[in-house]
Structure 1
Amino acid sequence: MQCIRAYARDESTLSAAISRLEELVEIPSVSSEAEGPLPFGKENAKVLNKALAIGKQLGFETENHDYYCGSIILGGEGEEEVGIICHLDVVPAGSGWIFPPFELTEKDGLLIGRGTDDNKGPAIAALAAMEYFAKQGKKLPFSVRLILGCNEESGMEDLPYFLKVRKAPFFSFTPDSVYPVCNGEKGIAEMELALGPAGDEILDISGGTASNAVADKAEILLVESCAKRLPDTLPEGITVEQTKAGVFVRAVGKAAHAAMPEGSQNAIGMLAAFLTDAKILDSNSPQAKAFAFLKRALGDYYGEGLDIEASDEQSGRLTCIGGIIRLQNGVIMQNFNVRYPVTANMEKLFENAKKLAEQEGLTLTLPRDSKGYYFSPDRPEIAALIKACEDALGKKTEPYVMGGGTYARVFPNTVAFGIGTGEEPTALGPGRGGAHQRDEYIKVDTLALGIEVITRAILELAALKNKEER
């Protein structure tokens, strides 16, 4: 059997993988509205067709699950399957790229383009790993099914459809995270707080850009009469501008992902604190009381201000951030993104927060609650993945639980596993190179390592299955 490391780093292996990745990156597969039989639009259908065509060219069996997702299958002995779950849809490119987002640019060991890291590159790495076994000519004790989703970035409606038409593999992993093995993900909930009508003093308010990120900017437009209540000295991060339209109060904080808010500063919380502490709004108004509540709610990152703090040994502390504040049909709305421990009950936590809000005459709802998952690190399949990772990396590793969300939370017996190394993407400068950033990239070395680790993982799972059947 050819050395796995040599295969993964062989020039012909990498050249073929990069060529296939180029074909996928060229398709701007951002999910869109359904078009006839295409549930996520033409571009997502196009990229799925391309990926399945590549799989068929390599001699694998392919299945199109009505354009919700597709499968490339390496046949094995018996009826059981191991699943590798990737996604072909990407987030919008946005503006400000140095390199063309939908062309693959190879530069200084980087493969640059939208989806190279998240998640077309890992899909190509998985396909190369499957090709390794196909070339050996010896069947595995199970089939390997590479499931290619088309809606991970905007709803994950693809995999539930798969489960309607096919049986889930006995074990799966999704290479959409970092090494080693993520054996658990916190629950993710979204709460919406109605702070009441804008009233007579608030003309407009906005803040934040995403519900799952700490807001780094926020501003409120007040009537001119509020200017008389402005203090002589402003807190750090707060600015005021008096215009013909009214008085703008702006806050600038520091952004962070909702799963890792430590070290950030929420601009909405800063704005609420300033309005409250300086008594900018009429102290007898409902709006003043509402912002005092918001100051409390955003005063920490662990849900203490909403009475939802929780923690456990497996996944650590609950985190809670305010992502977006906006004026909606004359009502001020604030969202909260909560990442809660795997053993916590979000429904009970929500009731605590709802009760607090109701005491202030405010309305809190829970429009989204995605349960987390947790597998014991002693589970044999997880131990097999850990061994594959350690053999490739040459160092000891430990499984971890994270606050982020992958396909693993919506698919049975699934964990997140690589192929990210955890290294910060700094090669192209700040704010560039990451999964959802401008000039997204994957290193050629990372792609090669991904091929090696996934190949080793399949081999370790095969050894485990053979051992069970003895």
Structure 2
Amino acid sequence: MKVEEMKRYIDDHAQNIISDLKGFVDIPSVSSDKENVDKALDYVLQLAKNMGFEAKSVLNHQVGVIEIGEGEETIGILSHVDVVPPENPQSWISPPFEMTERNGHLWGRGTMDDKGAIIVCLYAMKCLFESGEPLKKKVQMILGTQEEVEWSDMEAYVANFPLPDYGFTPDGEFPLCNIEKGCMDVELHFDLDETRDRDGWYFTSILAGQATNAVPGNCSCQLVRYQNGAAAESKTLTTTGKAVHSCQPEKGENAIFNMADLVAQTEHRENQISRILMMLKEKFSSLYGEEVGLYSKSEMYNGEFVHRNVFAPTLVRTDKNHLLVHINIRFAYGTAETEIITRLREVAEAYGGKLQVSSSMPAVYVSKERPFMKAFAQAYEEGSGRKHAFVLAYGGSYAKAMPGIVSWGPIFPGDEDTCHEDNEHISIKSLLDNGKVFAIALNKVALSEQSFK
């Protein structure tokens, strides 16, 4: 198929793409909801089977595998069917799990991250499959179910199955992300002091955030007024912000920091909850680690842009006599993970707490000179009409799970990034342009005799 034929193929199937995506988005596959995550995975696998592809689930339904073609090399497409919860369903223009088409855009949780990309990748594979030309390589789509949380799915897959030789995950942005920040999740645990021997208002609980990788848009604190050692009355403080993906917290507004500002203006007796709130505002509101000694010395590594270390408190909550704080960290390539842990442990211990590392995934660096990278670059220019460039991926993706995988799409330069935000949406044009780029890329690689390793 020629380039223009592939573009026309995607355009001709636009209504099928939109219809299939609606059925997908309408399944509320939040990572913790196994029943609906399973339904979402089954939905995609059935779509693939209807297209004539080999499709199955493995590892007790943790991962889906969809394949076409065969050969000595395998092109991997890694993605995920799970989504983050809607931060505040009441603030959505339309229900988050009922995809709606308005003003040339598709609205709903997962339209951008990552269900829309999965659907157009399927149609890119279908375009290749129906070309009638013999495939010289295998194309393998690998679908996870826990990408938005702990990656137990992909860890199990990597440990038990052969891996593709190279490929992409459409879970970031264009042009081509050959560098991706590392990701670390750290929990700080603090014991709460329960001494309330003086009359006055005390903070007794706090709750903020729903996902470890999203800046919280809401925070609430409970205060109780004690008199003569007994609770006399109570009240609740609430603050709001703007929920965004924690890889770029500067695009949002953290409700935890807003709560710290409100607490500073509220009459109360200082206790551990109020102290930790003030500490979070002081140490982390600058985002880049200046106040904890983790400010990156440079934004460059070997002449390429890697940005800086970024820190975002994403969860704060009380549980009986304990306070938990979750910090999501996106660290620049070249940063020592041990230094991050050491510095944050010092912060926790200074406030009588302890540090626990939940998970850490390395930064990614893939050479621009690899043949598959050059093929992807050409496909981007031919499919989108835009100039190619190699760029940094701020977020974490399955590119960290396997060697030779890069983050590529679905967000074009100039498009609004609504991943993990209320009112997530993607334009129909951008969605279809994704399909065109991917179809051209698969055509270039899968139909060629040459090696792209």
| TM-score computed with the length of structure 1 as normaliser | 0.79
Q: 1:85 aligns with which of 74, 78, 86?
A: 78
Structure 2 counterpart of 1:212: 213
Q: 1:308 aligns with which of 294, 316, 322?
A: 294
Query: Does the CA contact (< 8 Å) of 2:54 and 2:67 recur in 1?
Result: yes
CA distance in 1, matches of 2:446, 2:381: 17
Q: 1:381 aligns with which of 355, 372, 390?
A: 372
CA distance in 1, matches of 2:54, 2:182: 35
CA distance in 2, matches of 1:216, 1:95: 12
Query: Does the CA contact (< 8 Å) of 2:11 and 2:432 recur in 1?
Result: no
Taking the TM superposition and a 5 Å limit, the aligned residue runs for 1:71-150 are 71-76=65-70, 78-92=71-85, 95-96=89-90, 97-99=92-94, 101-150=96-145
Instruction: Report the CA distance between 1:168 and its aligned residue.
Output: 0.7
Instruction: Report the CA distance between 1:108 and its aligned residue.
Output: 4.1
Structure 2 counterpart of 1:296: 282
Pair 457,195 (structure 1): closer, same or farther in 2 beyond 3 Å:
same
Deviations 1:210-231 (A, max 9, x none): 44344555555556589xxxxx
Segment of structure 1 superposing worse, 331-340 or 292-301: 292-301
Pair 223,162 (structure 1): closer, same or farther in 2 beyond 3 Å:
closer
Residue 355 of structure 2 is aligned to residue 364 of structure 1: yes
Query: Does the CA contact (< 8 Å) of 1:175 and 1:419 recur in 2?
Result: yes
Query: Does the CA contact (< 8 Å) of 1:215 and 1:254 recur in 2?
Result: yes
Query: Does the CA contact (< 8 Å) of 2:245 and 2:421 recur in 1?
Result: no
Query: Does the CA contact (< 8 Å) of 1:196 and 1:287 recur in 2?
Result: no
CA distance in 1, matches of 2:333, 2:339: 14
Which has the higher relative contact order, 1 or 2, with Cα contacts under 8 A spaced 6 or more apart? 2
Query: Does the CA contact (< 8 Å) of 1:251 and 1:270 recur in 2?
Result: yes
Q: 1:182 aligns with which of 177, 181, 192?
A: 177
Instruction: Report the CA distance between 1:27 and its aligned residue.
Output: 3.5
Segment of structure 1 superposing worse, 454-463 or 122-131: 454-463
CA distance in 2, matches of 1:255, 1:447: 23
Residue 443 of structure 2 is aligned to residue 450 of structure 1: no
SS at match of 1:316: coil
Structure 1 counterpart of 2:327: 336
Instruction: Report the CA distance between 1:453 and its aligned residue.
Output: 0.1
Pair 163,222 (structure 1): closer, same or farther in 2 beyond 3 Å:
closer
Deviations 1:69-101 (A, max 9, x none): 22221214x232101122223344563354455
Pair 310,207 (structure 1): closer, same or farther in 2 beyond 3 Å:
farther
Q: Which of these two proteins has the greater Rg computed from alpha carbons?
A: 1
CA distance in 1, matches of 2:51, 2:438: 18
Instruction: Report the CA distance between 1:327 and its aligned residue.
Output: 2.5
Taking the TM superposition and a 5 Å limit, the aligned residue runs for 1:431-442 are 434-442=418-426
CA distance in 2, matches of 1:320, 1:5: 46
SS at match of 1:262: helix
Instruction: Report the CA distance between 1:162 and its aligned residue.
Output: 2.7
Structure 2 counterpart of 1:60: 53
Q: 1:154 aligns with which of 149, 152, 159?
A: 149
SS at match of 2:375: helix
Query: Does the CA contact (< 8 Å) of 2:445 and 2:452 recur in 1?
Result: no
Residue 23 of structure 2 is aligned to residue 29 of structure 1: no
Query: Does the CA contact (< 8 Å) of 2:362 and 2:400 recur in 1?
Result: yes
Instruction: Report the CA distance between 1:141 and its aligned residue.
Output: 2.4
Give the AA of the match of 1:322. P
Query: Does the CA contact (< 8 Å) of 2:37 and 2:145 recur in 1?
Result: yes
Give the AA of the match of 2:125. M
Instruction: Report the CA distance between 1:294 and its aligned residue.
Output: 4.2
Work out the percentage of aligned pairs sharing the same amino acid. Answer: 29
Structure 2 counterpart of 1:407: 398
Segment of structure 1 superposing worse, 401-410 or 360-369: 360-369
CA distance in 2, matches of 1:251, 1:439: 20
CA distance in 1, matches of 2:236, 2:423: 34
Alignment size in residue pairs = 436
Instruction: Report the CA distance between 1:57 and its aligned residue.
Output: 2.7
Pair 373,424 (structure 1): closer, same or farther in 2 beyond 3 Å:
same
CA distance in 2, matches of 1:401, 1:329: 42
Instruction: Report the CA distance between 1:448 and its aligned residue.
Output: 1.8
Structure 2 counterpart of 1:236: none
Segment of structure 1 superposing worse, 167-176 or 297-306: 297-306
Pair 438,263 (structure 1): closer, same or farther in 2 beyond 3 Å:
closer
Pair 126,330 (structure 1): closer, same or farther in 2 beyond 3 Å:
same
CA distance in 2, matches of 1:291, 1:26: 37
Q: How large is the RMSD of aligned CA atoms in angstroms? A: 3.5
Segment of structure 1 superposing worse, 216-225 or 11-20: 216-225
CA distance in 2, matches of 1:263, 1:384: 32
CA distance in 2, matches of 1:416, 1:251: 35
Give the AA of the match of 1:416. S
| TM-score computed with the length of structure 2 as normaliser | 0.82
Pair 365,446 (structure 1): closer, same or farther in 2 beyond 3 Å:
same
Give the AA of the match of 1:302. Y
Query: Does the CA contact (< 8 Å) of 1:129 and 1:451 recur in 2?
Result: yes
Structure 2 counterpart of 1:258: 246
Deviations 1:188-211 (A, max 9, x none): 222233344244263324253244
Pair 171,54 (structure 1): closer, same or farther in 2 beyond 3 Å:
same
CA distance in 2, matches of 1:254, 1:95: 13
Instruction: Report the CA distance between 1:423 and its aligned residue.
Output: 4.3
Residue 12 of structure 2 is aligned to residue 15 of structure 1: no
CA distance in 1, matches of 2:236, 2:424: 35
Deviations 1:394-440 (A, max 9, x none): 23232222331111112332111112224455xxxxxxx93444554
Query: Does the CA contact (< 8 Å) of 1:71 and 1:146 recur in 2?
Result: yes
Segment of structure 1 superposing worse, 449-458 or 120-129: 120-129
